[in-house]
Structure 1
């Protein structure tokens, strides 16, 4: 029975407040009812961001990751450009990095914070209802004491006639969208960095294998020359040259081993692992997909999350200016209360003990030391900064694309030249081996040609990795595959 009375008490308070609203002339536009519908606002956010993908669920393997796995409305991540490389090992490593990378979890935390700030901004659009209760005891020293029980409910609501609260909510929504896009671009960047580090590690393994093959060849050559010197058919000069080449090859092998361990640790850090240089990868580089055609449309840059995030921050800055300007206008707030007080707890909600009160307050700022005007100036400066940041981000995006396209052309030509050099050096070595066996040339000539073959192998391994890296850079610059569907 008491809970039923309490429910009626709360309903009466809400009706009282709404009736007070009806008696006050307001300059309220037709969009206010939509602004109060938080579910419609959330749907608008989701529609503007596209297909929702529960990416945070992948962050549940760490303590912080378990918190982020509770977030469900994250942006989708398109990794078709990685799939086109046809490397399942790489895709597995990228997924691991998206689960465990600490930097990416930091971006996820920013999204979580922005979602809470949006809820906080929306709360001001809804009447605040509170319930109070209390008991007091008093009396004189020579008489019996008495107790007074009270129970009440209060409602307060600021009428958003100038759109200050609504503009603040829209700014919070814009900031949330921007941070979600920041998170998406961080996901792209992490995927690209993992791919770069992965292919750098494969190249380091290849360079190590080449260095080891050089040592194997020179070790055998050193054995042959040593036997020749011992039998009086060789000379000490040739032996010294072989020993020099062998010592240099051993130094190069140690350097290659160090580079391999460094590349392994770099990849392990991206994956969120302890950098102990124990990660195993593939031993050969895949073929890069075909080069992009000339004349790519600039509209492709509309897909870049960092460009879209900068645009959302401009929208947030405009809404924050609106909120700051509205704060300089009069504010109207409504309040009301209803409750009962009685010496007996059982009679506290009797009609004879119920009191109610309703009030409307008007606050017009007169003298504030220039505070509100300064807030408008602050928001105006922030708007100018957001516009400048957008221009800088757009220029960076264009530069990234132009650089990646230039690299694509240059690396393709370099790869052709280095492949020709490698094939030619290998043919020359095959001829030199025959000439050496026939006694037409000396060992020094063969060693020089061998060094050219090894150098060509090292250079070609590097250019193959560079070709894959520029493919990654171009797709990151374009925000996805160049032949994916353009945004509307």
Structure 2
């Protein structure tokens, strides 16, 4: 009858443990109704329509850039550390899930006992016992029927026990779900770190090309100034130029040389940045191409709400909200009754010297309910804490979404203005180059002076420098746009 009562108590536990957990809202459902209503159907800035294309690194049509990014993904230690944190989060999920299953332990006992007795105590020899499972290692009692003699014996045995908490209210499953959500958030954070590393490499790559081109611009201008310096020196000796003109040319020549040195220093710094993220010693020795990629196609942007499903940092924020949601359920369930079932069984023997062997078998099966009554307000405070964390996670998600929309709008708007500036500067470089050619002819014919030529050369150099900056800025902004859109890429992964 006792065994029947135990199972009658435990059976409802087994039934209730199958209840499903409530699922948290996802994506746009986390946003407030007002915030959701403010998101337009398409981006406001000028953009190309169409679905976001994956593998954005290869869209630059630059195998060298693709190879460097792949190298960084494989070798970068920060990314490796992020990957290990993902593995740690997966282990945390298994730890949380372990509480859903029974805990089983095995107990072995081996003991030598001895006692000196005096007189007839009128009691029998107690059988061997394993004691309370997992707590008491005491064997069977000593021989208590003896007259003025010593008693010694071996006691040994083996027992097994199990305990299991029935997850009636979903407290343990909520803890597991929270750990799972945290792990998924860590995976999304890793993916965002992976994309950010690729973007960092690409930006450094284009900055290195920019510095190389600026050095080429300065080198070309320096050679031109040096030619004019020689010409001015000859004209001075012939009486056609003055010391003032010669000093002006020398000054411009020195300035061009300084510009060259600065560009070479910037190039070395950009090279070292690439070497560091690819886990090479930053010696500034890596050789890269010196021309920008060309024939780039427009970048399709998709719709703003699609960012919520695609961008890794938004996915991570969504999973952090889900974890907070499940922890609220866990805190609520902690205030409800807990039901547990335990079972213990074992066999033991006592080998009494000169008497014989006593064997014993023991078992127990029990079920119990514990209802928290007074904890000084701790359980209610824990529920309030988790509820506040959930609300904070919802606000964090909204803020992250707004920043994501801002990132895309900023990069699209920047691309639009940079494209227009590039067109204007290309015209300026071409026209200023023609003016230098015409001015040189007029100088040779005596219809112009050296100051005019120097001014034209300076304008041409300034236009080339600015055009190179704009070209590099457009490429870096394109990288930023791909990162903002969260399109991803399919180079070698972890």
Taking structure 1 as the reference length, the TM-score comes to 0.81
Q: 1 or 2, which has the higher helix percentage?
A: 1
The 5 Å alignment of 1:193-208 reads 193-208=200-215
CA RMSD of aligned residues (A): 2.7
If asked which structure has higher relative contact order (CA below 8 Å, sep 6+), I would say 2
Match of 1:297 among 285, 300, 303: 303
Residue 26 (structure 1) aligned with residue 7 (structure 2): no
Aligned to 2:35: none
Superposition deviation, residue 333 in structure 1: 1.1
Contact persistence 1:265–1:277 (CA under 8 A): yes
The 5 Å alignment of 1:202-217 reads 202-217=209-224
Contact persistence 2:318–2:397 (CA under 8 A): yes
Aligned to 1:86: 61
Q: Deviations over 1:172-218 (max 9, x none)?
A: 11111111111111111111111011101110111112112222221
The 5 Å alignment of 1:92-241 reads 92-141=67-116, 143-241=150-248
The 5 Å alignment of 1:316-327 reads 316-327=323-334
The 5 Å alignment of 1:33-432 reads 80-141=55-116, 143-287=150-294, 289-292=296-299, 296-301=302-307, 302-343=309-350, 353-432=360-439
Residues 474 and 19 of structure 1, relative CA distance in 2, 3 Å threshold: farther
Contact persistence 1:288–1:468 (CA under 8 A): no
Which consecutive unaligned segments of at least 5 residues does structure 2 have?
22-52, 117-148, 490-494
Contact persistence 2:341–2:367 (CA under 8 A): yes
Superposition deviation, residue 450 in structure 1: 1.2
Residues 21 and 253 of structure 1, relative CA distance in 2, 3 Å threshold: farther
Superposition deviation, residue 129 in structure 1: 1.0
Larger Rg: 2
The separation in 1 between residues aligned to 2:465 and 2:215, in whole angstroms, is 10
Superposition deviation, residue 379 in structure 1: 0.6
Count of aligned pairs between the two proteins: 421
Residues 198 and 372 of structure 1, relative CA distance in 2, 3 Å threshold: same
SS in structure 2 at match of 1:356:
strand
Taking structure 2 as the reference length, the TM-score comes to 0.80
Superposition deviation, residue 144 in structure 1: 4.8
Superposition deviation, residue 145 in structure 1: 2.2
The 5 Å alignment of 1:427-446 reads 427-446=434-453
Residues 124 and 447 of structure 1, relative CA distance in 2, 3 Å threshold: same
Q: Deviations over 1:269-328 (max 9, x none)?
A: 2222332222221111112623347x8521331211111111111111111111110010
Q: Deviations over 1:415-454 (max 9, x none)?
A: 1111111111111112112222222212222121111111
Residues 22 and 425 of structure 1, relative CA distance in 2, 3 Å threshold: farther
Q: Deviations over 1:47-89 (max 9, x none)?
A: xxxxxxxxxxxxxxxxxxxxxxxxxxxxxxx951111111111
Residues 279 and 190 of structure 1, relative CA distance in 2, 3 Å threshold: same
SS in structure 1 at match of 2:161:
strand
The separation in 2 between residues aligned to 1:403 and 1:448, in whole angstroms, is 36
Contact persistence 2:17–2:169 (CA under 8 A): no
Aligned to 1:41: none
The separation in 1 between residues aligned to 2:102 and 2:488, in whole angstroms, is 48
SS in structure 2 at match of 1:125:
coil
Aligned to 2:31: none
Which consecutive unaligned segments of at least 5 residues does structure 1 have?
1-15, 36-77, 483-488
Contact persistence 1:174–1:312 (CA under 8 A): yes
The separation in 2 between residues aligned to 1:265 and 1:173, in whole angstroms, is 39
SS in structure 2 at match of 1:237:
helix
SS in structure 1 at match of 2:159:
strand
SS in structure 1 at match of 2:447:
coil
Contact persistence 1:300–1:479 (CA under 8 A): no
Q: Which stretch shows the higher mean deviation, 163-172 or 208-217? A: 208-217
Aligned to 1:56: none
Q: Deviations over 1:120-158 (max 9, x none)?
A: 011001111111112111112452521101211111111
Residues 107 and 389 of structure 1, relative CA distance in 2, 3 Å threshold: same
Superposition deviation, residue 25 in structure 1: 4.4
